[in-house]
Amino acid sequence: MSDARTKSMDEALLALIASSLTMWGRSGSARQDESGNIIVESEAHVVRIARAAPGVPFRWSITIDGRERVASSVTGALRVLRSSLDPDFRPSRVRIAPIEITPP
């Protein structure tokens, strides 16, 4: 994994979490710690978002107040994050089928 790509991903995720907190009406902030993990502190909750270890079938490990959950994509991580911060959040049960890569 190139450092440039990693930095780009981290920056993008940090920006997304910051704007998500605002959109969800949650106070708090997100920062990157010295290990490269993203730490979200919001209304008495502390959430750590870390890349999963190589070789496991998911990409993100999300530790919420000491409990670990996993996600396979950044959108999955966002869903887990909101579920942990917003007790009224009800994620959609609808799942969108992948669209065809090229037109039919």
Q: Taking the mean position of all CA atoms in its chain, how far away is CA 73?
A: 8
Please identify, using beta-carbon distances, which residue of 44 and 97 lies nearer to another protein.
97
Q: Residue 49: enclosing H or E segment and its boundaries?
A: strand 45-51
**Residue closer to another protein (CB basis): 35 or 66:** 35
Minimum CB distance to another protein smaller for 25 or for 66: 25
Which residues of this chain interact with another protein, rule CB under 8 A? 1-2, 5-6, 8-9, 11-13, 15-16, 18-20, 22-25, 59, 73-75, 78-79, 82, 90-92, 94-104
- In angstroms, what is the minimal distance from the CB of 17 to another protein? 9
Closest CA to 21 of 73, 67, 68, 89: 89
Least separation in angstroms between CB 24 and another protein: 8
* The token pair that represents 87 in the structure block: 């007790």
Q: How far is the CB of 19 from another protein (least distance, A)?
A: 4
Q: With contact defined as beta carbons under 8 Å apart, do 7 and 14 qualify? A: no
Tally the residues of the chain.
104
